[in-house]
Amino acid sequence: MAILYLTDKRQLTTYEEITRVLGPLGVDLKSWPVPEGEGLRSLLGKARLDPPEQESLLAHFLDRFDYLKTTLGYQTQDLIVLEPDLPGLAALEEKFRACHTHDDDEIRYIVEGEGLFGFVLPNQDQVELKVEAGDYINVPRGAEHWFRLTPPRRIKAIRYFTSREGWVPIYTGRALSSAFA
Ligand SMILES: [Fe+2]
């Protein structure tokens, strides 16, 4: 269940309240519960997955992919797995936490672990949204945002693409609020 953190330390915990703040940016947040099942649970529990295991995991979520193909024209999907022992993780985190935009929507469906998406609101205020397993988020093209891992530094998320080209970060150089630094 997502939580929205505001710079004044308030926390919003319902989709309704969160959508009231993020709606003006065009952010779409949905609850897509992760299915139950022994096979899937064992894949989700592994720190790392080899390519066949990643394919097996994605196969459990084909209905979601079909929905996005039909409704939004998405063409490809992959799985991103971040965990503390991943080589180069610190450098990746450094890139993710720099404010940026994309020319295409950034769609993530969190299937395990958690992370924080930060946003710059139209009034220039900043907020951070904690997303965890079962949260689907669409960060629309042009919305200024960043991403950070929470202390366990562990997340598995399905990424959906219409084209790889559209999903290159365009850095804005904006500093993060001290509340989130
Ligand atoms: Fe991004």
Q: Give 168's pLDDT tier (boundaries 50, 70, 90).
A: confident
Rounded to the nearest whole angstrom, what is the distance from the C-alpha of residue 38 to the centroid of ligand 1? Answer: 32
**Spacing, Cα 145 to ligand 1 middle (Å):** 6
Which pLDDT does position 48 carry in this prediction? 93
Instruction: Please determine, for residue 173, whether its predicted confidence score (pLDDT) is greater than 90.
Output: yes
**pLDDT for residue 163:** 77
CA of 96 to the centre of ligand 1 (A): 7
Ligand 1 center to 133 CA (angstroms): 19
Q: What is the CATH number of the domain that holds 134?
A: 2.60.120.10
Supply the pLDDT for residue 135: 97
pLDDT, one tens digit per residue, over 34-86 is 999 999 999 999 999 999 999 999 999 999 999 999 999 898 999 999 999 99
The pLDDT of residue 2 is above 80: yes
Overall number of domains in the chain: 1
Is position 165 within any domain? yes
In a domain, 120, yes or no: yes
pLDDT value at residue 181: 76
Kindly report, residue by residue over 114-160, the tens digit of the pLDDT: 999 999 999 999 999 999 999 999 999 999 999 999 999 999 999 99
Quote the pLDDT of residue 151. 96
Q: Distance between CA 143 and CA 79 in Å, rounded?
A: 23
Distance in Å, CA 139 to ligand 1 centroid: 8
- Assess if residue 179 is contained within a domain: no
Is residue 39 assigned to a domain?
yes
Task: Fill in the amino acid letter for 98.
Answer: A
- For residue 78, give its domain range: 3-171
Domain annotation covers residue 176: no
Q: Is the pTM of this model over 0.85?
A: yes
pLDDT at 167 over 90: no
Q: What is the pLDDT of residue 29?
A: 95
State pLDDT tens for residues 14-36.
999 999 999 999 999 999 999 99
Burial 115-144 (b: 16+ CB within 10 A, else e): bbbbbbeeeeebbbbbbbbbbbbbbbeebb
Q: Does residue 181 sit within a domain?
A: no
C-alpha 152 to ligand 1 mean position (Å)? 20
